[in-house]
A = this chain, B = another copy of it.
Amino acid sequence: MSNSGEPISTKDTEEVIMEATFRALSKHGYGDLRMRDIGEEMDLTRQVIHYHFDGKYDLLSSFLEYVIDQYEGSVEVDADADPRAELDARIDQCLFGPEFEEFGHWDRMKVYHELYVYAQNDPEHRDIFDAHYDRIQGSIVEVVEEGIEQGTFEPVDAERMGQFITDIIHAARGRRIALGHEDAPAETRRAIDEFVLDSLYADG
């Protein structure tokens, strides 16, 4: 229970629950997670969870959206950046991730990648991941199209390029998490530079 005596807003309460879910998932994994595990990770009573969410599934769907929102919201790109600098920044942020106060990028990505595989059996989660994939791909397509328009990029198929870069980033993160290849993101960054971007740049 909170001892501060001050009322807590719904938004704050939901964030407390979301961060407790993070901690509980990190300890117990997705398959074995129980509502009580989440309750044990927060100072509010467990009833608060049931007030805000209609069961474990509803909570986990909200949690997935929370993780994705944080991830997407953390991508900061300088508005004045030219297409080449912006593309670089987007790739780096997706590969290496931003800093968070409590759980780091890799704690978050670990949960994300676990839920990603489960999405094959879960239409609602699949839709959430699908929309996220579209947005990440779309943000890369946009900057590639801009570069092509400005003549600094070769006239490639921008949709396909966006898909390719989104996929390879996902694979590098997945390999770091599943196989423990700590260097996977850095290796992939070099490979993207040498094998893909080098031929994308019109002056390359």
Contact = CB atoms under 8 A, between A and B. Distances in A.
Given A180-B120, A195-B196, A199-B198, A190 B133 contact: no
Given A114-B117, A117-B114, A195 B188 contact: no
B120 A110 contact: yes
Nearest to A134: B179
A188 B175 CA distance: 18
Counting chain B CB atoms within 10 Å of each CB, the highest count among A31, A120, A194, A199 belongs to A120
Contact of A168 (B121, B168, B179): B168
Given A170-B174, A195-B164, A179 B114 contact: no
B117 A179 contact: no
Contact of A163 (B113, B177, B180, B187): B187
Nearest to A119: B178
Nearest to A123: B180
Contacts of A198: 199
A196 B194 contact: no
Contact of A191 (B133, B160, B175): B160
A98 to B, nearest CB: 22
A172 B133 CA distance: 13
A161 interface: yes
A76 interface: no
